[in-house]
Amino acid sequence: MIKTIIVPVDRQGLHDITQSIIQLVGDAGWAEGLCTLYIQHTSASLLIQENYDVSARHDLEAWLNRLVPEHDPLYTHTLEGADDMPAHIKSALTATSLAIPIVDNQLALGTWQGIFLWEHRRQTTQRKIVVHLVS
């Protein structure tokens, strides 16, 4: 089964999409399988990360922004704004796909794990994620 979900984003940062994916897996009703997620963009990524303490997400965002700053004089791809080339670099350093086992009709996530779309741009937009479920 393949579904595409649309995730509206209104800011740079980590956006929790765990419940949307859990719902799709539950609707499929498979005892076991694999859930693959793929984001169809080059300036956003996917991440499994702590979903309990929001400070962990804030620290990740701050760290990556410090690692890949805007306005670097070496950037030549600047047509779409100061945050665009850093967004492409951040996407290259992180993940564009995830694979999560399905066990007993549930994602095999750990206790404090969540699934996040990591938006690397500051603009309001919509992101497409292809969800492929295999039993």
- Give residue 116's pLDDT: 98
The CA-based dihedral angle spanning residues 20, 113, 16, 108, taken in that order and rounded to the nearest 10 degrees: -20
- The pLDDT assigned to 30 comes to 87
At 16-30, the pLDDT tens digits run 999 999 999 999 988
Torsion, Cα 68 74 77 82, to 10 degrees, reads: 50
pTM for the model? 0.94
Domains (range + CATH), the chain: 2-134 (2.60.120.460)
Phi-psi region of 54 (alpha: psi -120 to 50; beta: other; left: phi over 0): alpha
Contact 9, 95 (CB under 8 A): no
**Could you read off the pLDDT of 44-64 as tens digits, one per residue?**
999 999 999 999 999 999 999
* Biggest CA pair distance of the chain: 52
